[in-house]
């Protein structure tokens, strides 16, 4: 420090020929040198404090992608809270989202919240972290319930899909083909060629329907993020594929958006058992009881969300019938739900039941969410 002060004290001196002070220039006193040195040190200290404040509060640049010092943007809790307020997240869900993003090293919350792929990566990492760090099953299910509630709210409020053509439909996607007034659950076999190839619906006798070239049909489908679309098309012909009999439809870019499903849905083929549930009414509201029939039926779940599922079965049940549904996951955990048949569709000799869940235990709800978002795969 003494060396620094001595050096600064010499700064005001102006030397002439031979190292002597120039005429007319007054040599600075020790007091003036001290004042000058103190000013320099104070200025440096203020600059350090300003930089620390900018780093702490992440004062954004005009471009919004970097901090003012040109370095990488730091995570801003204030920016995150502005975003979560517009999404409708409560305090607990906001804290969960902050945990999700920070645990995966996110520095730009807005970018992640506008990307379904990034969000799934962040939430999948958080899902596994919660599984490892929860000290009890009750704590595990509580934390997972908040995690998935947060993810579902964000899913509902995410931006619109960019699907603009039938060429963007993923292969093997579930869809509904409408012919006249009848709906047929089918799958899109391929959308990559000159024609849109879909499963040929089956008649009630189990044989492929014969549709004339030029027949008008409607196709409804949902993307992975549960955005729904419909399109009008025409039949070009029939063909055989490795997946069975198929129809060739005209591609179209005139896509109509349908109202969004409330929850993300996953296509699958999974065996399930179900039982009829009857409500016993003794005339008083509090005395109503639900009795599960002992007779067990079987079928395959074709798609599922936390709001309901579709089951393909050989059993014919009426709309409004309540069911107890059970299936076992690959980890041998059992998922149970109480559902109600909303409608039924014929698929050859089988029936496809569209079921709305009425009651799902918290543990089963977490299991369904983990399946739908593919976090447990």
Q: What is the pLDDT of residues 218-270, one digit of tens each?
A: 888 777 666 677 889 999 999 999 888 999 999 988 877 765 566 788 888 89
Residue ranges of E strands in 40-179: 173-179
Exposure letters 312-347 (e unless 16+ CB within 10 A, then b) = bbeeebeeebbbbbebeeeeeeebebbbbbeebbbb
First and final CA of the chain: distance in angstroms?
Answer: 63
The least confident of 120-124, 177-181, 194-198 is 177-181
Is residue 116 within 8 A of residue 166, CB to CB? The reply is no
Cα 73 to Cα 100: distance, rounded to the nearest angstrom: 18
Is residue 266 within 8 A of residue 372, CB to CB? The reply is yes
Q: Is the pLDDT of residue 290 over 60?
A: yes
Selection from 335, 308, 329 nearest residue 376 by Cα: 329
Cα 228 to Cα 135: distance, rounded to the nearest angstrom: 40
Cα 155 to Cα 118: distance, rounded to the nearest angstrom: 12
Chain mean position to CA 137? 25
**Which alpha helices (H) appear in 158-253, and where do they start and end?**
none
Give the residue with greater pLDDT, 114 vs 190. Answer: 190
The least confident of 90-104, 221-235, 236-250, 304-318 is 221-235
Q: Is the pLDDT of residue 24 over 70?
A: no
Which tokens sit at 377? 């795969």
Give, as one character, the DSSP assignment of residue 200.
Answer: P
Percent of the chain's residues with pLDDT above 70: 75
Mean pLDDT over 20-36 rounds to: 56
Cα 306 to Cα 371: distance, rounded to the nearest angstrom: 10
Is residue 269 within 8 A of residue 318, CB to CB? The reply is no
Give the residue with greater pLDDT, 32 vs 155. Answer: 155
- pLDDT value, residue 186: 83
Which tokens sit at 96? 């969960």
The least confident of 27-31, 106-110, 302-306 is 27-31
- The string of pLDDT tens digits covering residues 327-366 is 998 888 899 999 999 999 887 788 899 999 999 999 999 9
State the chain's maximal CA–CA distance in angstroms.
119
Is residue 202 within 8 A of residue 319, CB to CB? The reply is no
Give the residue with greater pLDDT, 321 vs 263. Answer: 321
Reported as half-sphere exposure (CB side, CA atoms, 13 A), residue 243 has a value of 15
- The string of pLDDT tens digits covering residues 117-138 is 888 999 999 999 999 999 999 9
- pLDDT value, residue 49: 64
Which tokens sit at 128? 């596994």
Q: Is the pLDDT of residue 67 over 50?
A: no
Give the residue with greater pLDDT, 28 vs 132. Answer: 132
Q: Count other Cβ atoms within 10 Å, centred on residue 268.
A: 15
Cα 133 to Cα 32: distance, rounded to the nearest angstrom: 63
Is residue 255 within 8 A of residue 165, CB to CB? The reply is yes
Q: Is the pLDDT of residue 54 over 60?
A: no
- pLDDT value, residue 68: 41
Q: What is the pTM of this model?
A: 0.60
- pLDDT value, residue 231: 85
- pLDDT value, residue 258: 65
């Amino acid at each position: 420090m003494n060396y620094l002060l001595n050096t600064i004290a010499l700064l005001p001196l102006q030397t002439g020929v031979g190292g002597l002070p120039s005429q007319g220039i007054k040599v600075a006193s020790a007091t003036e040198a001290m004042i000058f040195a103190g000013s320099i040190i104070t200025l440096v200290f203020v600059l350090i404090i300003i930089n620390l404040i900018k780093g702490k509060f992440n004062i954004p640049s005009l471009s919004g992608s970097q901090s003012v010092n040109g370095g990488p943007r730091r995570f801003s809790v204030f920016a995150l809270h502005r975003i979560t307020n517009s999404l409708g997240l409560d305090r607990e869900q906001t804290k969960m989202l902050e945990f999700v993003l920070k645990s995966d090293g996110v520095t730009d919350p807005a970018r992640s919240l506008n990307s379904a792929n990034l969000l799934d990566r962040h939430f999948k990492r958080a899902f596994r972290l919660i599984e490892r760090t929860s000290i009890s099953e009750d704590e595990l299910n509580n934390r997972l319930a908040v995690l998935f509630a947060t993810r579902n709210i964000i899913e509902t409020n995410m931006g619109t899909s960019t699907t603009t053509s039938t060429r963007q439909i993923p292969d093997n996607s579930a869809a509904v083909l409408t012919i006249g007034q009848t709906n047929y659950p089918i799958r899109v076999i391929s959308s990559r060629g000159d024609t849109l190839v879909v499963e040929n619906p089956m008649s009630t006798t189990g044989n492929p329907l014969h549709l004339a070239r030029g027949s008008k049909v409607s196709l409804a489908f949902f993307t992975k993020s549960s955005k729904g679309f419909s399109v009008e098309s025409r039949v070009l012909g029939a063909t055989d594929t490795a997946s069975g009999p198929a129809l060739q439809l005209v591609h179209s870019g005139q896509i109509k958006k349908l109202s969004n499903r409330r929850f993300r849905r996953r296509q699958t083929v999974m065996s399930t058992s179900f039982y009829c549930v009857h409500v016993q009414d003794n005339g008083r509201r509090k005395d109503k009881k639900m009795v599960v029939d002992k007779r067990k039926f079987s079928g395959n779940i074709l798609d599922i969300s936390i709001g309901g599922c579709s089951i393909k079965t050989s059993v014919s049940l009426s709309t409004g019938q309540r069911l107890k549904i059970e299936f076992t996951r690959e980890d041998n955990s059992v998922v149970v739900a109480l559902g109600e048949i909303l409608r039924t569709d014929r698929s050859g000799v089988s029936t496809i039941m569209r079921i709305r869940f009425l009651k799902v235990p918290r543990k089963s709800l977490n299991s369904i969410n983990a399946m739908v978002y593919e976090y447990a795969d």
